[in-house]
C-alpha cells in the first residue's frame, strides 16, 4: 500500500488513517450505502465427509446435497468438492445469524456459472432470506487434501425491525 494514503478517500469514500504502528488502515461500517452486509465462513474437515460417505453412502449424499451438487462433485477430488459445498452450507447458516432456526441443508445449494460458485436457496431458507432482505450474495470455495472452506458475503436491505432503520428511511423509499 502506498505510504501517502492517510487522509485520502478510500473504499466507499471512507478515509484512510494511520494506526499506532504507522500502517494505513480503513474502518468500514456494517452498513454500506444504506445496506447491511453479512459474512459467514466455515472450515470443514474432508476426513469427516469421507467417513460419512463410508458409513452412510448415498443416504448421506441425499440428505445433505442436491442431485446437481452430487453430479458437480463427480470425478477427481470428489470428497474435497463435497466438503467445500458442506462448508458453504454452514457458512450460509452463519450469515443468517439465527442459531435457533432449522436449516434443511438441501435448501442451500451451490451451483456454478462456469467456474464461479453461486448460491441457490429454496423452501424455508429462501423465505427466511427474503424476510431478512437478502439482495445478493457472493461465495468463495477452496480446499486442500485435508480441509475445505467457504466464505459467503450477503448484502441485505435495511428492514423495519433494524435498529438503524428510521421513519425517514421508510418515507424516502416510498417516494
- Sign of the CA dihedral running 94, 98, 99, 105: negative
How big is the chain by its Cα radius of gyration, in Å?
A: 20
Q: Give dist(CA 111, CA 85) in Å, integer.
A: 10
Q: 72-88: per-residue pLDDT in tens?
A: 999 999 999 999 999 99
Residue 125 in contact with residue 89, Cβ under 8 Å?
no
- Compute the mean pLDDT over every residue in the chain, rounded to the nearest whole number: 84
Q: Give dist(CA 82, CA 70) in Å, integer.
A: 8
Quick one: pLDDT at residue 4? Answer: 52
Q: Name all domains of the chain by residue range, CATH numbers in brackets.
A: 1-29 (no CATH), 35-156 (3.90.470.20)
Which pTM value belongs to this model?
0.75
Residue 37 in contact with residue 53, Cβ under 8 Å?
no
CA 94-132-156 angle, to 5 degrees, is 85
Q: How confident is the model at residue 8 (pLDDT cuts 50, 70, 90)?
A: low
Amino acid at each position: 500500500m502506498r505510504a501517502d494514503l492517510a487522509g485520502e478517500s478510500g473504499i466507499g469514500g471512507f478515509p484512510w488513517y494511520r494506526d499506532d504502528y504507522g500502517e494505513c488502515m480503513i474502518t468500514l461500517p456494517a452498513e454500506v450505502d444504506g445496506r447491511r452486509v453479512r459474512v459467514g465462513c466455515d472450515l470443514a474437515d474432508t476426513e469427516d465427509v469421507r467417513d460419512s460417505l463410508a458409513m452412510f453412502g448415498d443416504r448421506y449424499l441425499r440428505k445433505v446435497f442436491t442431485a446437481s451438487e452430487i453430479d458437480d462433485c463427480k470425478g477427481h477430488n470428489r470428497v474435497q468438492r463435497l466438503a467445500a459445498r458442506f462448508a458453504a452450507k454452514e457458512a450460509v447458516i452463519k450469515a443468517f445469524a439465527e442459531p435457533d432456526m432449522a436449516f434443511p441443508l438441501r435448501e442451500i445449494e451451490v451451483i456454478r456459472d462456469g467456474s464461479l460458485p453461486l448460491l441457490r436457496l429454496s423452501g424455508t431458507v429462501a423465505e427466511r432470506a427474503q424476510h431478512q432482505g437478502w439482495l445478493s450474495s457472493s461465495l468463495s470455495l477452496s480446499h486442500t487434501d485435508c480441509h475445505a472452506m467457504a466464505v459467503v458475503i450477503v448484502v441485505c436491505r435495511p428492514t423495519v425491525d433494524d435498529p438503524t432503520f428510521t421513519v425517514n428511511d421508510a418515507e424516502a423509499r416510498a417516494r
